[in-house]
């Protein structure tokens, strides 16, 4: 076999190996929500929706890329499980309030760009007063990928329900998305009431089929999520 033929064969083999990856990387994001997703508010009756990334009340201080509407989109199994948690908590006089649900990949990229701009610290006092912004990646507060993009992770809190009154958030010790050890579910740096409320929420979510994250009291993922290896990028609208 001549050297020229060997080179041609080698090139063909390399092209065969690389092409599927390239094709996969170039697949455009779907314009519409996939059939496997639903608006959780249409499934979980009474769910309070306060999507922080569709506005500017968040650690960036601006609307985040990919959020064009304040909707809590989740996979159908996650939304159904959340509805069961809502019913469970109602027996104790509580309900759920969601801050973030499905998160587009482009939103995660927005967080990464923001974190690399160390001069932008306009919301530092509210969200990360004790953390140097240069350490956000090292400490794990910002990552290049998020489980939220798989559609079965939700950030939420509890509200107290009373007849004829608007739902009121309970004390959880820190605000949502606070970067600090105080946000760890096991933290003793918060008051006794907040610790008790965190336990009630975590227990209800576990009974509903979710598991917690040990550094954020508000973060839960469906145990048997349907898209473990798929990160979606369709716009929330």
CB contact at 8 A, 32 and 234: yes
CB contact at 8 A, 67 and 58: no
> 199: how many CB neighbours lie within 10 A of its CB?
12
Dist CA 211 CA 224 (whole Å): 10
Element (H, E) at 158: strand 153-160
- DSSP annotation of 83: H
- DSSP annotation of 222: E
Dist CA 117 CA 133 (whole Å): 9
Given the residues 45, 169, 193, 216, select the one marked as catalytic.
Answer: 216
CB contact at 8 A, 75 and 224: no
Q: Is 68 a catalytic residue?
A: no
Helix 192-207 / helix 76-90 crossing angle, nearest 10 deg: 130
Active site residue ranges: 216
């Amino acid at each position: 076999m001549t050297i020229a033929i060997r080179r041609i064969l080698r090139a063909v083999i390399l092209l065969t190996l690389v092409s599927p990856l390239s094709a996969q990387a170039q697949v455009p994001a779907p314009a519409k929500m996939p059939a496997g997703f639903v608006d959780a508010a249409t499934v979980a009756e009474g769910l309070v929706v306060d999507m922080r990334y569709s506005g500017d009340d968040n650690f960036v201080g601006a609307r985040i890329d990919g959020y064009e509407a304040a909707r809590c989109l989740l996979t159908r199994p996650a939304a159904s499980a959340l509805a069961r948690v809502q019913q469970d908590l109602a027996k104790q006089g509580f309900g759920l309030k969601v801050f973030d649900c499905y998160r587009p990949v482009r939103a995660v990229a927005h967080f990464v760009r923001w974190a690399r701009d160390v001069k932008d610290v306009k919301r530092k006092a509210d969200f990360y007063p004790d953390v140097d912004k240069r350490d956000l990646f090292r400490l794990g507060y910002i990552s290049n990928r998020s489980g939220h993009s798989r559609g079965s992770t939700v950030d939420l809190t509890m509200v107290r329900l009373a007849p004829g009154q608007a739902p009121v958030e309970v004390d959880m010790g820190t605000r949502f998305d606070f970067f600090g050890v105080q946000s760890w579910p096991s933290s003793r740096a918060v008051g006794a009431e907040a610790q008790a409320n965190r336990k009630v929420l975590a227990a209800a979510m576990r009974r509903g089929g979710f598991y917690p994250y040990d550094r954020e009291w508000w973060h839960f993922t469906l145990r048997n999520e349907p898209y473990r290896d798929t990160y979606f990028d369709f716009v929330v609208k």
